[in-house]
A = this chain, B = another copy of it.
């Protein structure tokens, strides 16, 4: 099987699984996303390893579960020593480039301990999660009275200033704000301002800028060698605001009704209740908030789709569709008021389920083009898919996901029984309110395609949904006497996963198997040997001093 030469790994931030035309949204049009789906396979049961940016991305980039890599929340440093996509692909001669967001926090203490200078090639890659940086832009260039959120230099802000946008932070004041008739800034941070058009030229907004940066990369000297390019967009993540013509494209009449039910508020699970009742949940429970936010969110997606089309056209015009794998996905979803929630955090489908489309240019994938695959897929499956696609051996002792290549090539592999996702809410004030210790404020989802269990450390009961009879996940069966057996079965799946071997990353399974054939006696290690007659004559001769070892 020929390898693909390049991989274009496109990620959107906070893009719901069902906000694509090809995924069935009744109003939103995404002709270019749909075009990719027609070229490849759309995986419609893909889940993230954690419904929060940082932890989810570290799983995408390491190919490992959150509890394996340890960077369980935003700005938890990824420990020195964790291997990344970049490490695996470089071994196969493929360079990994970043254009956009990673949410990577470097393990500065670990780097100092090992003497890794951040400005060395090795140190920079360790600090940047294995990528070589074309442009890193995490898209959170916010500023408040106490200072700025992200201490890095913003390449996007620098570019905006070079275009003549005024002030110290055009990201905040222009790209993510509207303007009143009187010239006042109408910040996109306020949800009720989301309907305003962003006060920026359309082509200067974040999504077109990153697309151009990617196209610049594609035409560069760097792209002459085989590459993975991680084009990682900021949007449609909040602040929810978009310039015209996208701001006016959709209106309240295109907002689908929220998926929520009064029964969800009756005696809810305490952790779920805490999330519903926080400021975010309360805001998104308001119809006027959804009416303002969701059209902007849809406009941001429409813009992303248009830019994606531009990118596909460029790849086609430059011949790259013939040798480039293209992946479109997101780091998690967005509740948008469903289940009385905003944001992400918990494991209902709007949060933990993601869009995933994979285009494989090779002829072996021709039979599956335009199809939908219902396999239970995890975010960590992409790393081994990429490693296999470029023709390298998948290090199964390090990468915990499974290559999607068999699905892409029309095979029906044996597959996992369930997907697992995790969430560390230990830094949340809600954990303080509920009196949950840092080590106990952790949630686990296990979903087998029908039943979805949420386990909470800290002494809480589980939550359980039956997606066959309750596809909208409105009826929590976690304390249902009739479902004790299902709960136990789901816990069995969770615990088989929890006992997995995750850290034996320095020895491959093949090396283990080779060792089974080892003969310690041949190097003089005799365990359980009673006397000389029990070993081979050459071993006995050597131990009697009548022969010499070959290498001594």
Could you say which of A225-233, A319-327, A517-525 contacts chain B? A517-525
Could you say which of A203-211, A384-392, A538-546 contacts chain B? A538-546
Q: With a CB–CB cut-off of 8 A, which chain B residues contact A282?
A: 528
Q: Knowing A502-B67, A506-B109, A506-B110, say if A143 contacts B426 (CB, 8 Å).
A: no
Contact A120 B115 (CB under 8 A): yes
Contact B512 A438 (CB under 8 A): yes
A149 interface residue (CB < 8 Å to B):
yes
Q: With a CB–CB cut-off of 8 A, which chain B residues contact A145?
A: 522, 536, 538-539, 542, 547, 549-550
Contact A192 B506 (CB under 8 A): no
In the complex, residue of chain B having the shortest beta-carbon distance to the beta carbon of A424: B504
A234 → B minimal CB distance (Å): 14
A168 to B279, CA, bound (A): 76
Query: Number of A interface residues, CB 8 Å?
Result: 122
Q: With a CB–CB cut-off of 8 A, which chain B residues contact A120?
A: 115
Q: Knowing A67-B501, A528-B342, say if A144 contacts B81 (CB, 8 Å).
A: no
A439 interface residue (CB < 8 Å to B):
yes
Contact A168 B427 (CB under 8 A): no
Question: How does the 8 Å CB contact mask read for A329-366 relative to B, with 1 for contact and 0 for none?
Answer: 00000000000001100000000000000000000000
A187 interface residue (CB < 8 Å to B):
yes
Contact A115 B109 (CB under 8 A): no
Contact A185 B544 (CB under 8 A): yes
Q: Which of A428, A522, A525, A550 has the most CB of B within 10 A?
A: A525
A457 interface residue (CB < 8 Å to B):
yes
Contact B501 A442 (CB under 8 A): yes
Q: Knowing A190-B529, A342-B528, A539-B144, say if A70 contacts B185 (CB, 8 Å).
A: no
Instruction: Specify which of B281, B286, B516 is in contact with A427 (CB 8 Å cutoff).
Output: B516
Contact A550 B147 (CB under 8 A): yes
A79 to B504, CA, bound (A): 8
Contact A531 B190 (CB under 8 A): yes
A280 to B526, CA, bound (A): 10
A507 → B minimal CB distance (Å): 5
User: Which residues in chain A, 188-247, are within 8 Å of chain B measured between CB atoms?
Assistant: 189-193, 238
A500 to B149, CA, bound (A): 31
A527 interface residue (CB < 8 Å to B):
yes
Contact B549 A70 (CB under 8 A): no
In the complex, residue of chain B having the shortest beta-carbon distance to the beta carbon of A81: B81
A417 interface residue (CB < 8 Å to B):
no
A317 interface residue (CB < 8 Å to B):
no
Q: With a CB–CB cut-off of 8 A, which chain B residues contact A193?
A: 531
A538 to B547, CA, bound (A): 86
Q: With a CB–CB cut-off of 8 A, which chain B residues contact A432?
A: 516
Contact A529 B191 (CB under 8 A): yes
A515 interface residue (CB < 8 Å to B):
yes
A318 interface residue (CB < 8 Å to B):
no
In the complex, residue of chain B having the shortest beta-carbon distance to the beta carbon of A520: B149
A238 to B432, CA, bound (A): 54
A84 to B185, CA, bound (A): 53
Q: With a CB–CB cut-off of 8 A, which chain B residues contact A524?
A: 142-144, 148-149, 172, 189
Contact B523 A142 (CB under 8 A): yes
A94 → B minimal CB distance (Å): 16
A502 to B70, CA, bound (A): 8
Q: Knowing A523-B149, A549-B169, say if A189 contacts B115 (CB, 8 Å).
A: no
A263 interface residue (CB < 8 Å to B):
no
A475 → B minimal CB distance (Å): 26
Contact B507 A189 (CB under 8 A): no
Q: With a CB–CB cut-off of 8 A, which chain B residues contact A81?
A: 79-82, 110, 114
A342 to B185, CA, bound (A): 79
Q: With a CB–CB cut-off of 8 A, which chain B residues contact A167?
A: 545
Q: Which of A72, A238, A507, A520 has the most CB of B within 10 A?
A: A507
Q: What 16 new A-B contacts, CB under 8 Å, besides A71-B504, A146-B519? A: A72-B501, A76-B506, A78-B506, A79-B506, A80-B80, A110-B506, A144-B521, A146-B522, A147-B522, A148-B524, A189-B524, A190-B530, A190-B534, A427-B518, A429-B516, A455-B499
| A residues with CB within 8 A of B | 67-72, 76-83, 87, 107, 109-110, 113-116, 120, 122, 126, 140, 142-149, 167-169, 172-173, 177, 184-185, 187, 189-193, 238, 278-284, 286, 289, 342-343, 424, 426-429, 431-432, 437-439, 442, 444, 455, 457, 491, 494-495, 498-507, 509, 512-513, 515-532, 534, 536, 538-539, 542-545, 547-552
30 A-B residue pairs with Cβ-Cβ distance under 8 Å, sorted by A, are A67-B503, A68-B503, A70-B502, A70-B503, A76-B506, A83-B113, A110-B506, A140-B525, A142-B524, A143-B552, A144-B549, A145-B539, A145-B547, A148-B552, A169-B549, A173-B545, A187-B544, A189-B524, A190-B531, A191-B530, A192-B530, A279-B529, A342-B528, A343-B528, A427-B512, A427-B518, A429-B516, A432-B516, A444-B499, A498-B498
